[in-house]
Chain A
């Protein structure tokens, strides 16, 4: 028997694809939109309720704060990760997903202390979103600034 495989990397890659189980895309999309949608509905309910007592701007701040709190709380009691398994992008993209991505490393790295553990690792997942989110908004801001003169 020849123990050396006479196949190329790309041939092996094709063998892998042939054997790989496909992700259940239809099911994933369905749950992503369902749960993502429900999170937005919840946000809208909080917003409409707040509008009865405060102005529009304060109401949207209350909505964000409530959703962030709720997500952080669910993360701490190990429920948001279970929701994420079913919802995928549906629970990652809303503001609740952003809160989850900050709270989860904070919990995880507490064991290495509050400064070098929690403090320096808290933005491990959310950091890239902040860096590129802020950078792209600055670039767009500059483009918008100059476009205003032209248009």
Chain B
């Protein structure tokens, strides 16, 4: 049911029953290391190309999810998956191995929440019972597509972020099939925001207005305030983008800084790991949610979260043509049933 301007209330409150996560060598050295299910030891993982490695990572992630939930391909109604590469090749090639209907998504770094949103809407509409939503990214394949060759010796801008090598997948079900009580209660698809930021090395600042818009609209539509949630989690605003989000809320006289956690800021040790402003990419929120936050939800350390994945919807072509960076954010309210 639509409430307010752009939020949907899900009467069926789909369960997030299981999650699965996989990360790369750098991420496993970060502070969240113990929460991820598995990791690859190097950026190749015995594959010949970075793209193949990313696909394999996503495939492993979804296979692990099936094993955890003890389900087969036939039990899954549909998979929503996406990544950063042109034509979503990581997802296409990974899901080639599964005998399941597939819808590929592109929402840049907002893909995971876009997938969660569509998965839960499929269940809400009674069209599906068991849905998988996944997303992946790989530092090296993203660098190749968006930036300079890896071996090129250059300095990064202070606002730059590092693409997370990782993938995450979640199993969304109509019925309660695991010990997890985490349910999706509201979803708010975002509107594109663009405040004219053109710097591809400052995507945090480009995406902060989208995060602001979606969070503010979600709170207005649901008539909730910030204190309702235990945490408001953004995907990959990074250190700089997070500051921008806090400042945008300050303009409305709201202090969000105490409730706000950014996955890009917590996946790495920002001081020691040479990542400038933190992590980015579809795999960032996908792996951090699937690994860390889902664990916190099942352990009931947190009970009500608003998951907001932000995406910078540019390409090297649009940036080359002098366009600014349009951004989007989708919000998913996840609450433990008490």
Asked if B195 and A85 make an inter-chain contact with CB atoms under 8 angstroms apart, the answer reads no
**Most A C-beta atoms less than 10 A away, residue of B148, B193, B195, B252:** B195
Asked if A104 and B152 make an inter-chain contact with CB atoms under 8 angstroms apart, the answer reads yes
Known: A16-B244, A19-B240, A19-B244. A107 touches B151 (CB 8 A): yes
Interface string of A46-84 (1 = CB under 8 A from B): 000000000000000000000000000001101011111
Q: Is A22 an interface residue (CB 8 A)?
A: yes
Asked if A15 and B152 make an inter-chain contact with CB atoms under 8 angstroms apart, the answer reads no
Q: Is A151 an interface residue (CB 8 A)?
A: no
Known: A22-B158, A111-B49. A78 touches B195 (CB 8 A): no
Cα–Cα distance between A13 and B205 once the two chains are bound (Å): 9
Asked if A88 and B155 make an inter-chain contact with CB atoms under 8 angstroms apart, the answer reads yes
Cα–Cα distance between A78 and B151 once the two chains are bound (Å): 6
Indicate which residue in A3, A88, A125 contacts B149 across the interface (CB closer than 8 Å).
Answer: A125
Cα–Cα distance between A35 and B150 once the two chains are bound (Å): 21
* Complex contacts, B205 vs chain A, CB 8 Å: 16, 19
Indicate which residue in A7, A20, A103, A104 contacts B195 across the interface (CB closer than 8 Å).
Answer: A7
Least Cβ distance of A78 to chain B in Å?
A: 6
Asked if A15 and B244 make an inter-chain contact with CB atoms under 8 angstroms apart, the answer reads yes
Q: Tell me the nearest residue of chain B to A22, going by C-beta.
A: B158
Q: Tell me the nearest residue of chain A to B219, going by C-beta.
A: A1
Q: Tell me the nearest residue of chain A to B199, going by C-beta.
A: A16
Cα–Cα distance between A78 and B148 once the two chains are bound (Å): 14
Q: Is A23 an interface residue (CB 8 A)?
A: yes
Cα–Cα distance between A85 and B197 once the two chains are bound (Å): 25
Cα–Cα distance between A102 and B153 once the two chains are bound (Å): 11
* Complex contacts, A105 vs chain B, CB 8 Å: 149, 152
Cα–Cα distance between A23 and B158 once the two chains are bound (Å): 6
* Complex contacts, B158 vs chain A, CB 8 Å: 20-23
* Complex contacts, B299 vs chain A, CB 8 Å: none
Known: A15-B244, A20-B159, A111-B48. A1 touches B154 (CB 8 A): no
Asked if A100 and B153 make an inter-chain contact with CB atoms under 8 angstroms apart, the answer reads yes
Number of residues of chain B lying within 8 A (CB) of chain A: 39
Known: A16-B197, A88-B155. A2 touches B252 (CB 8 A): yes
Cα–Cα distance between A7 and B251 once the two chains are bound (Å): 10
Q: Tell me the nearest residue of chain B to A76, going by C-beta.
A: B151
Least Cβ distance of B322 to chain A in Å?
A: 14
Q: Is B302 an interface residue (CB 8 A)?
A: no
Number of residues of chain A lying within 8 A (CB) of chain B: 42
Q: Is B315 an interface residue (CB 8 A)?
A: no
Asked if A5 and B254 make an inter-chain contact with CB atoms under 8 angstroms apart, the answer reads no
* Complex contacts, A5 vs chain B, CB 8 Å: 193, 195, 209, 212-213, 248, 251
* Complex contacts, A88 vs chain B, CB 8 Å: 154-155
Asked if B149 and A12 make an inter-chain contact with CB atoms under 8 angstroms apart, the answer reads no
Q: Is A43 an interface residue (CB 8 A)?
A: no
* Complex contacts, A12 vs chain B, CB 8 Å: 195-197, 209
Cα–Cα distance between A56 and B49 once the two chains are bound (Å): 45
Cα–Cα distance between A19 and B51 once the two chains are bound (Å): 35
Cα–Cα distance between A19 and B251 once the two chains are bound (Å): 15
**Most A C-beta atoms less than 10 A away, residue of B48, B144, B148:** B148
Q: Is B260 an interface residue (CB 8 A)?
A: no
Asked if B153 and A84 make an inter-chain contact with CB atoms under 8 angstroms apart, the answer reads yes
* Complex contacts, B202 vs chain A, CB 8 Å: 16, 20
Interface string of A11-29 (1 = CB under 8 A from B): 0110110011111000010
Asked if B195 and A21 make an inter-chain contact with CB atoms under 8 angstroms apart, the answer reads no
Asked if B151 and A75 make an inter-chain contact with CB atoms under 8 angstroms apart, the answer reads yes
Known: A80-B151, A103-B151, A125-B149. A1 touches B247 (CB 8 A): no
Known: A3-B220, A22-B158, A85-B155. A104 touches B212 (CB 8 A): no
**16 pairs, CB–CB < 8 Å, chain A vs chain B:** A5-B212, A7-B195, A9-B195, A13-B197, A16-B197, A16-B205, A16-B244, A20-B158, A22-B158, A28-B155, A81-B151, A83-B153, A85-B155, A104-B150, A111-B50, A125-B152
**9 shortest A-B CB distances, which residue pairs?**
A84-B153, A9-B196, A3-B216, A104-B151, A104-B149, A3-B217, A108-B149, A104-B152, A12-B195
